[in-house]
């Protein structure tokens, strides 16, 4: 059985940077798999690897049906056939089934063949139901897909995709996702979405993806089958997509089409190349037009790949910086249908808020009206309303409206930019404790302020801002200058543990991890047995044992649902243990 691991490293919106390890090979997600047609190589697999593409996809059905390719693959293995030592995923013929209505192979035959030729990730022969068929037709196709999934689960010896089907019916997509999540698969593609993308039905694509995500386990990577245009990467990753694949780089090149992050240009339309990749730096549009068809196609394909790679890197950098929503907002304005999809995504408030980090490395930028519907803004206003009854004095914020005065130092209120500036007032010494109590209520939940009701707040001589929070010389917490939130010390964690009823802000770990957490060692996901479902990414949390005894405090990378689901990777970066 394949050695498959997936862990989260960073996140923003519902997007995540992940580390996927399979058969000793590692890929950072989000990642795209260029499609390789084994019968017609425009760009060689070796060139793809040199460009940084560590994962590719090809069609096992084409290899199966082509005698010379089949014989070579069975004899030498698919990696030698393609001349590629990275991760190779394969499709099963499902795309041909959707396009042509029939394939000459059974589900069990193609699964066995994929194993025999040594693929890294296989795909069983699911039924990709096109958009807008009747609900009855979609339901019947899904029944067959789930039967084949069960069959594949029983015979597979390699990592395998289990595609979520259900046409354009959200109820069927969620049902399929839940059923497949109960089975032993590694990756979940969202299938049969190419017709939606080809017709620019991005709004429907959002509904299909979110319905699928609602039912899927959060610890498995999600692959958007057939998606490869850079203009949708930011939106798709913000929805929670980890993997892409596409032959668009080659298909567009054959048609003299040139990819950009904002859309597609025809070569005949271009006087200048808006790109500095190796192709665009060396040639002019006119020079490419004058080339023989084969060479022109190859160079356009290489450009298209560079643009795809660059945009995915841009998306990953925005996740690191906490600016993915800004990138989504920018990209959405390149096409009206993409803009409509962006607005539709923002309607899924509960799903987005659950995945949105509580703090970011970048300020909140009100770049558009839609920014006020980003989950950071929605959550901030809701939590501010929770704090208001206890801290009645308010100030008027130019972006967020009326907010409690004592939250005016904290993210995102202080760390925001809009049309008008927000003046931050330094806290008077006699009011400093009110700021800390209000921040605790905002950050940890109702009643958390009680843990700091007798605290002394040390103000910085240089800035006048809060620094250390203490009681009788004991350190409770630190006021973070970067985001105006609190980092707990052990004494502060003990106090918070007393005032917040179980399971509030708690991560429960098993007996094996307990001694390490006490000593301040990090907590890994496989040792987590329970967690508060209200925990959000980057929250400061309390680490306890099954008896609710406090062991440590730290910052979680995962939300409450993920903490219970993930079995791999870091769960909580421990800051302090009770035994240190």
Residue 501 sits at φ, ψ, to 5 deg, of -65, 150
Catalytic residue among 12, 85, 91, 219: 91
Give the separation between CA 316 and CA 310, rounded to whole angstroms.
10
E strands, 407-532, are: 416-417, 456-459, 466-471, 474-479, 486-488, 506-509, 523-524, 528-531
Residue that has been written with the tokens 């793809």 in this structure: 48
3-state SS class at 355 = helix
Burial of 139 (0-12, 13-18, 19+ CB in 10 A): middle
Beta strand 263-266 with 257-260: parallel, antiparallel or unpaired?
A: antiparallel
CA 139, 140, 145, 149 torsion-angle sign: positive
Token digits of residue 344: 């539709």
Give the separation between CA 440 and CA 436, rounded to whole angstroms.
6
Which alpha helices (DSSP H) does 356-404 contain, by range? 375-387
Q: Which of 33, 10, 40, 73 is nearest to 298 (CA)?
A: 40
Q: Which of 380, 374, 319 is nearest to 347 (CA)?
A: 374
Q: Are 212 and 1 in contact (CB under 8 A)?
A: no
Cα pseudo-dihedral 152, 154, 157, 163, rounded to 10: 30
Q: Are 221 and 33 in contact (CB under 8 A)?
A: no
Give the separation between CA 180 and CA 173, rounded to whole angstroms.
11
Q: Are 543 and 501 in contact (CB under 8 A)?
A: no
Beta strand 55-59 with 31-36: parallel, antiparallel or unpaired?
A: parallel
Give the separation between CA 17 and CA 212, rounded to whole angstroms.
20
Instruction: For residue 40, give every residue at least 6 positions away whose Cβ sits within 8 Å of its Cβ, in sequence order, or none.
Output: none
- Catalytic (active site) residue 454: no
Residue that has been written with the tokens 């339901």 in this structure: 139
Give the separation between CA 340 and CA 500, rounded to whole angstroms.
42
Give the separation between CA 19 and CA 79, rounded to whole angstroms.
22
Which residues are designated catalytic? 91
């Amino acid at each position: 059985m394949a050695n498959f691991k997936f862990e989260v490293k960073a996140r923003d919106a519902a997007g995540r940077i992940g580390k996927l390890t399979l058969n000793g090979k590692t890929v950072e997600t989000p990642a795209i798999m260029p499609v390789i047609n084994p019968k017609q190589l425009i760009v060689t697999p070796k060139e793809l690897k040199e460009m940084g593409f560590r994962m590719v996809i090809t069609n096992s059905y084409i290899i199966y049906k082509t005698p010379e390719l089949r014989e070579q693959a069975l004899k030498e293995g698919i990696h030698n056939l393609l001349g590629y030592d990275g991760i190779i995923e394969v499709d099963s013929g499902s795309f041909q089934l959707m396009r042509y209505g029939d394939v000459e192979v059974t589900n069990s035959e193609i699964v066995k063949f994929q194993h025999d030729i040594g693929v890294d990730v296989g795909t069983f022969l699911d039924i990709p139901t096109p958009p807008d068929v009747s609900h009855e037709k979609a339901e019947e196709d899904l029944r067959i897909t789930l039967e084949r999934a069960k069959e594949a689960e029983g015979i597979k010896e390699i990592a395998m995709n289990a595609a979520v089907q259900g046409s354009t019916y959200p109820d069927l997509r969620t049902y399929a996702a839940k059923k497949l999540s109960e089975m032993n698969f590694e990756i979940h593609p969202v299938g049969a979405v190419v017709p939606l993308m080809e017709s620019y039905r991005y709004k429907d694509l959002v509904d299909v993806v979110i319905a699928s995500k609602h039912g899927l386990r959060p610890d498995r990577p999600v692959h958007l089958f057939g998606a490869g245009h850079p203009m949708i990467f930011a939106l798709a990753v913000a929805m929670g997509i980890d993997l892409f694949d596409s032959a668009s780089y080659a298909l567009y090149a054959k048609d003299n089409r040139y990819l950009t992050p904002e859309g597609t240009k025809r070569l005949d339309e271009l006087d200048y190349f808006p790109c500095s990749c190796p192709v665009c730096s060396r040639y002019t549009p006119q020079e490419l037009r004058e080339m023989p068809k084969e060479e022109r196609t190859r160079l356009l394909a290489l450009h298209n790949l560079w643009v795809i790679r660059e945009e995915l890197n841009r998306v990953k950098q925005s996740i690191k910086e906490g600016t993915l929503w800004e990138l989504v907002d920018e990209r959405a304005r390149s096409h009206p249908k993409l803009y409509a999809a962006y607005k539709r995504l923002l309607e899924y408030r509960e799903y987005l808020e659950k995945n949105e980090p509580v703090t970011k490395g970048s300020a909140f930028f009100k770049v558009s009206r839609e920014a006020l519907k980003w989950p950071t803004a929605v959550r901030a206003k809701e939590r501010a309303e929770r704090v208001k009854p206890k801290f009645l004095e308010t100030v008027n914020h130019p972006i967020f409206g009326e907010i409690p005065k004592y939250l005016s130092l904290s993210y995102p209120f202080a760390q925001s930019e809009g049309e008008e500036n927000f003046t931050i007032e330094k806290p008077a010494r006699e009011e400093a404790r009110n700021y800390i109590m209000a921040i605790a209520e905002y950050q940890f939940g109702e009643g958390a302020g009680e843990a700091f009701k007798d605290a002394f707040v040390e103000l910085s001589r240089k800035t006048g801002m809060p620094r250390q929070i203490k009681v009788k010389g004991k350190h409770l917490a630190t006021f973070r200058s970067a985001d105006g939130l609190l980092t707990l010390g052990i004494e502060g964690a003990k106090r918070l543990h007393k005032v917040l009823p179980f399971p509030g802000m708690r991560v429960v770990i098993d007996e094996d991890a307990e001694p390490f957490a006490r000593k301040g060692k990090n907590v890994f996901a496989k040792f987590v047995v329970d967690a508060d479902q209200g925990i959000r990414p980057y929250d400061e949390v309390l680490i306890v044992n099954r008896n609710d005894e406090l062991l440590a405090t730290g910052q979680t990378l995962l939300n409450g649902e993920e903490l219970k689901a993930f079995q791999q990777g870091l769960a909580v970066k421990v800051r302090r243990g009770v035994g240190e």
